[in-house]
């Protein structure tokens, strides 16, 4: 989805600094960008490395002169196992990428964003950030932290030039399984997989919501439906997801 966000922004004439730990992924984005690569700059960076993230601001400003917005999209899921069976190493990796990586980028760029005539922070949470999913509890906790971080920032930055938006994607066809070091355990032939939103459509919804200065963006019919259901009956919604997630939990 990050790649599609980059391509969508480039198509609108934006200058984009793309950040990824995987250089090959960045180079693939360059190929897809075609003749718009003049507005694209790549930074191979581990966002869990605070010092490396803090060094990005000067590099991006040196290339483009200023930064008017950041989109925190990087994230991984956990193995489909219960908290009791997760190692601390895995838990810390999920939290470091999903939450601390987002926090480091915000803390690094926010002082500069506050100097701009208009700026925007967009953080990608998840449907799992407001709705519990057994077997993805730590992932959900990391995304719930992103949700509250973003909503808190929205309140703190009210009255400033910096707008803040939180995004809740439902099922989106991305590389998050492989990027998380997991085999793809959901068959593309299933009815559910066929209904998953494509990454380019998800990216378009996110950028459109950003342009409209939306407080929150629900991406996909599943996220929209479960948001409503969870507000009406949290226990029922949680139980419904628990039944659907049961088949994905790894046996001990």
Active site (catalytic) residues: 139
The pair of three-digit structure tokens given for residue 132, joined into one six-digit string = 């519990």
Closest C-alpha among 13, 141, 18 to residue 73? 18
Residue in the structure block whose two tokens are 């400033």: 160
Angle (CA) 23 25 31, round 5°: 105
- Report the C-alpha gap between 116 and 175 in whole angstroms: 34
- Report the C-alpha gap between 31 and 173 in whole angstroms: 20
SS3 state at 41: strand
């Amino acid at each position: 989805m990050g790649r599609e966000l980059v391509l969508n922004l480039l198509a609108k004439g934006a200058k984009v600094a793309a950040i990824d730990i995987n250089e090959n992924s960045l180079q693939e984005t360059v190929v897809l960008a075609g003749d718009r690569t003049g507005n694209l700059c790549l930074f191979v960076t581990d966002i869990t490395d605070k010092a490396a993230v803090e060094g990005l601001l000067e590099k991006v400003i040196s290339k483009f002169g200023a930064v008017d917005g950041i989109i925190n999209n990087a994230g991984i899921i956990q193995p489909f196992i219960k908290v009791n069976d997760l190692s601390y190493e895995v838990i810390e990796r999920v939290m470091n990428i999903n939450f601390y990586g987002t926090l480091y980028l915000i803390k690094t760029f926010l002082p500069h964003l506050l100097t701009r005539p208009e700026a925007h922070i967009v953080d990608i949470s998840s449907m799992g950030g407001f709705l519990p999913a057994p077997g993805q509890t730590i992932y959900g906790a990391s995304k719930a932290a992103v949700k509250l971080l973003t909503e808190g920032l929205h309140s703190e930055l009210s009255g400033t030039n910096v707008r803040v938006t939180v995004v809740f994607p439902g099922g989106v066809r991305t590389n998050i399984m492989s990027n998380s070091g997991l085999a793809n355990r959901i068959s593309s032939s299933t009815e559910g997989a066929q209904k998953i939103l494509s990454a380019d459509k998800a990216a378009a919804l996110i950028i459109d919501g950003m342009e409209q200065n939306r407080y929150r963006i629900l991406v996909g019919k599943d996220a929209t439906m479960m948001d409503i259901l969870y507000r009406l009956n949290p226990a029922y919604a949680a139980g419904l997801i628990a039944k659907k997630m049961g088949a994905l939990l790894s046996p001990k």
